[in-house]
Amino acid sequence: MADRKQCEAALRGLAARLEALAREGHPPNTPDRTIMCRIPDLGTSYVAQLRDGGLHDITEGNRAAQITFTLSSDDLVAVTEGRLSVTSAWASGRLRVEASVRDLLRVRSLL
């Protein structure tokens, strides 16, 4: 089981990759939303702002969000490292996504 530091590092790594895409002139076309990543096996959540195609202000905590991802700590690390595809994780039930259909369609470039 991955720990909190590994999960936070995984999310910060994702944020860095999105920032690099923006610097290269290829930012993902995403809506500005508050997102939350629930990690039940650690009993914690991380909240961040999806803004201008980047992931900002990552903090541990629980807050209202328009888009919520729920997955285990190990799966979070595996997805962010590219060892587990988001599609496979979602299809197998290892990843749950709670969002409006419109938001799902708009953030699919991140998935």
Pick from 80, 89, 93, 62: nearest CA to 2: 80
Domain that holds residue 22: 4-106
State residue 110's pLDDT score: 63
All residues at 6 or more sequence positions from 73 whose CB lies less than 8 Å from its CB, including other chains: 1, 2, 3, 6, 7, 39, 41, 42
Which CATH number goes with the domain that contains 54?
A: 3.30.1050.10
State residue 52's pLDDT score: 84
In a domain? residue 8? yes
Strand bridging mode 95-98 / 67-71: antiparallel
Per-residue pLDDT for 34 more than 80? yes
In a domain? residue 111? no
Q: How many domains does the chain have?
A: 1
In a domain? residue 98? yes
State residue 111's pLDDT score: 58
Instruction: Name 59's bridge partners.
Output: 47
The pLDDT tens digits for 7-32 are 999 999 999 988 888 888 877 777 89
In a domain? residue 87? yes
Who wins on pLDDT, 54 or 30? Answer: 54
In a domain? residue 11? yes
State residue 108's pLDDT score: 67
pTM for this one?
Answer: 0.89
In a domain? residue 69? yes
The pLDDT tens digits for 65-106 are 999 999 999 999 999 999 999 889 999 999 999 999 988 877
